[in-house]
Amino acid sequence: MPMRKAILSAGFVLALLLPLLAAQQTQPPPQSLQQPPKRVEDEDIPVRRVSVDLVNVVFTVLNRRQKFVTDLRQEDFQVFEDSVPQKITNFSHETDLPLRVGLLLDTSNSIRDRLKFEQEAAIDFLHNVIRRRQDLAFLMTFDNEPQIAQDFTDDLSQLTDVIQKQRAGGVTALYDAIYDAARQRLANPPLPRGENPAVRRVLVLISDGLDTLPSSRTRTEAIQMAQRADVSIYTISTSTDWMSVTGSTPKKYHLTDGDKVLQMLADETGGRAFFPYRIDDLGKSFEDIGVELRSQYSLAYVPTNRAADGRFRAIKIQAAQSGLLVRARKGYFAPRPPVAKPGAEQ
């Protein structure tokens, strides 16, 4: 009898323990045991992680008569980086996008005699291009240093009043102004509400093109920042040197050093340079800019060259159809490799 009681007691205890043992067997092993053992040789291999971003390019297409062509498709284009074909991953017609415009007004002593021309040109541009409740513009002036005179607004009367109040004085920090306008305002502008937050970023630079301070930023740094912010620079020269005024249309027959800078800024960022003599010469040009900004394409690609070496990469967009001119920025600067902090793991 005692033996039977002992057997029953042992069976009862075993019945209680079996569920607990089963539960332990179904639980996953500790996290450290799930991972395969790390090979010693893996610790000796330096790993460099480089993020690869899409390269975005906004461009315009014109025919032989200098008319905008707006009905082309992705297969009508090829894109090359440093002469190497690239695969287009994104393509769109950027027609009628809201504009985010920065007006850069040179208020240094070098343009004192042409300040009234600058003010009239800036006001004329705004009234020809900016649409209320859709586009926004800000005013930055620059002499010894750049400063925001009016932040983003669609109120043309307010912008006009601020422009007319400007006075000339000081030297010219041209490249600082371009750098700051692109980085501080146009890189992250106010975006429209709704499903499509895309905007078109533009700098309109009215100056003689001379950096007389000189700026703390170089010309290359200014262009690079504009390219990174997807900003096109449209330049209006205030210089009347080497201007032929015979006939109905004044023409520049020689570019000054400042004019060449303005031409380069426009060419490198996909904009245009203008060399007017009178304010009346700009009317049709501003209309053309307004149409151009709403008649553009956008494409993107992941570059086959993934080296983060900080070097310039030339971009060329080629249309399949002959007789078409593609106007776009000339290229971009690759990112530089990250600088390792002292004592940080590589």
Computed on alpha carbons and rounded to an integer, the radius of gyration of the chain in Å comes to 31
How confident is the model over 104-111, as a mean pLDDT? 91
Pairing of strands 136-142, 99-106: parallel
pLDDT at 195 over 70: yes
* Cα–chain center distance at 318: 21
Whole-structure pTM value: 0.76
Count of other CB atoms within 10 angstroms of residue 133: 8
pLDDT digits (tens, 9 = 90+) for 174-186: 999 999 999 999 9
- Is 99-190+197-294 a domain of CATH 3.40.640.10? no
Higher pLDDT, 249 or 43: 249
Q: How confident is residue 32, by pLDDT bands cut at 50, 70 and 90?
A: very low
* Cα–chain center distance at 144: 25
> Where are any strands of DSSP class E within 95-181?
99-106, 136-142, 146-153
Domain boundaries of the chain, sorted by first residue: 55-94+299-333, 99-190+197-294
Instruction: Report the distance separating Cα 214 and Cα 220, nearest Å.
Output: 14
Answer whether 233's CB lies under 8 Å from 266's CB: yes
Query: What do you get for the CA distance between the two ends of the chain, in Å?
Result: 75
Higher pLDDT, 122 or 50: 122
The pLDDT of residue 332 is 86
pLDDT digits (tens, 9 = 90+) for 270-283: 999 988 888 777 77
Q: Which residues contact 107 (CB under 8 A, 6 or more apart)?
A: 115, 141, 142, 143, 166, 167, 168, 169, 170
Structure tokens at 51: 């993020």
pLDDT digits (tens, 9 = 90+) for 215-273: 899 999 999 999 889 899 999 999 888 777 776 667 777 899 999 999 999 999 999 99
Q: How confident is residue 28, by pLDDT bands cut at 50, 70 and 90?
A: very low
